[in-house]
Structures are given as structure tokens and as C-alpha cells.
């Protein structure tokens, strides 16, 4: 079984960043959760950024899941960052898509690859990885279409032989012409 990951947006560094500083420590989130201390302006900005990123990542992955339908394997997986308020915020995400070919069924493969393409390109801003997945699905779809065309040609040739007709592309015998002299 082949799985393809469709990934969501990431933070600017493409890696979850950790907020560190003099106010960061194991006791800080507990104090904030209890509502005993205010966030600094810097922490408020960071929290707003994390909330926006979390919403964008979750929307992105929901779009993939909705379009992937039966080809999605499980739900979305997220990477989190703990914010200055002690809560976890999604900063990256991915959806696993089952993308293996269906044996001896090019028509089903065409439909499956079209669904995978739609799933990869479903979010408003597909990531570069999403675009690569869509390109791979398009190539697999073209291969399935070529396989389907070869199967049609083979079927047409086989039908021509069984009906006593020459298959397409076979030179026909010249018709007999009666001539009177």
C-alpha cells in the first residue's frame, strides 16, 4: 500500500519554533492558566500568530480530508507548538492518502488519481508538497489513460478476429471485379 502525505502550511522557519526567554519556564503556563499573570506584549503577538497559524493549518487539512474522501487514511496529523498561554497550537499538518494503483482497472485508477489531485489542490493555498502530489497523481492518471487505450485497441482487435472481420489497420482484400470481354 502506497501512502502519500499531503502537508499543510508551516511556520516561516518550516520547523516549529519554541518560545524561549526569561519568562518561559514550566511554571509560567500554570500561572497563566490560573489567570494570575498577564501576557507581555511580545507574548500577546506570539499568541496571536500561533492562533492564526493554527486556524490556517486546520482549515488546510480539513480541505484535504473533505476532498480525499475514501482515500484518506485516518484524520489529519498535526505538529504543535506550546504558546505562551500554555496551550498547544497546530503549526504543521498532514493527511495520509492511499495512492496505490488499482490492479487491472485503469478506469478506477483514473478516477482515483483525479480524486487525489483534487485532494492535493483542495486548500486555497496548496503547499509546494501538495503541488508535487497533484503532479504525481496527474502522471499516474495519464499512465492509466494510456493503459486504458491499449486495452481498448487489444479488445477491438480481438473482437475483429472473432467476428471474422479484419482488425483495424489490417489491409483489406481487394474486391473481386467481374469484367466482360
Find the domain containing 25 and state its range: 3-162
Per DSSP, which regions of 37-168 are E strands?
77-82, 88-98
Has residue 87 been placed in a domain? yes
Secondary structure of residue 95 in the 3-state scheme: strand
Between 98 and 36, residue with greater pLDDT: 98
For 39-71, the pLDDT digits (tens) are: 999 999 999 999 999 999 999 999 999 999 899
Model confidence, pTM: 0.68
Q: What is the mean pLDDT of residues 92-105?
A: 92
For 124-157, the pLDDT digits (tens) are: 999 999 999 999 999 999 999 999 999 999 989 8
- Whether 153 and 146 have beta carbons less than 8 Å apart is answered as no
Residue 21's pLDDT band (cuts 50, 70, 90) = very low
- Identify the H or E element spanning 6: strand 3-7
pLDDT over 90 at 11, yes or no:
no
Structural domain tally of the chain? 1
Has residue 41 been placed in a domain? yes
Has residue 169 been placed in a domain? no
Has residue 70 been placed in a domain? yes
Q: What is the mean pLDDT of residues 81-107?
A: 94
Has residue 176 been placed in a domain? no
Has residue 113 been placed in a domain? yes
- Whether 82 and 98 have beta carbons less than 8 Å apart is answered as no
Amino acid at each position: 500500500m502506497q501512502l502519500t502525505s499531503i502537508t499543510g502550511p508551516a511556520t516561516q522557519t518550516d520547523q516549529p519554533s519554541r518560545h524561549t526567554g526569561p519568562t518561559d519556564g514550566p511554571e509560567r503556563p500554570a500561572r497563566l492558566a490560573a489567570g494570575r499573570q498577564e501576557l507581555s506584549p511580545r507574548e500577546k503577538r506570539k499568541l496571536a500568530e500561533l492562533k492564526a497559524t493554527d486556524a490556517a493549518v486546520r482549515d488546510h487539512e480539513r480541505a484535504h480530508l473533505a476532498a480525499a474522501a475514501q482515500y484518506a487514511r485516518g484524520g489529519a496529523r498535526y505538529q504543535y507548538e506550546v504558546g505562551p498561554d500554555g496551550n498547544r497550537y497546530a503549526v504543521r499538518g498532514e493527511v495520509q492518502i492511499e495512492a496505490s494503483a488499482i490492479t487491472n482497472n485503469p478506469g478506477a485508477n483514473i478516477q482515483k488519481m483525479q480524486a487525489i489531485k483534487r485532494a492535493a489542490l483542495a486548500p486555497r493555498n496548496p503547499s509546494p508538497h501538495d503541488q508535487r502530489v497533484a503532479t504525481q497523481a496527474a502522471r499516474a492518471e495519464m499512465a492509466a489513460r494510456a493503459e486504458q487505450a491499449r486495452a481498448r485497441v487489444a479488445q477491438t482487435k480481438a473482437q475483429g478476429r472473432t467476428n471474422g472481420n479484419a482488425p483495424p489497420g489490417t489491409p483489406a482484400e481487394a474486391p473481386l471485379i467481374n469484367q466482360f470481354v
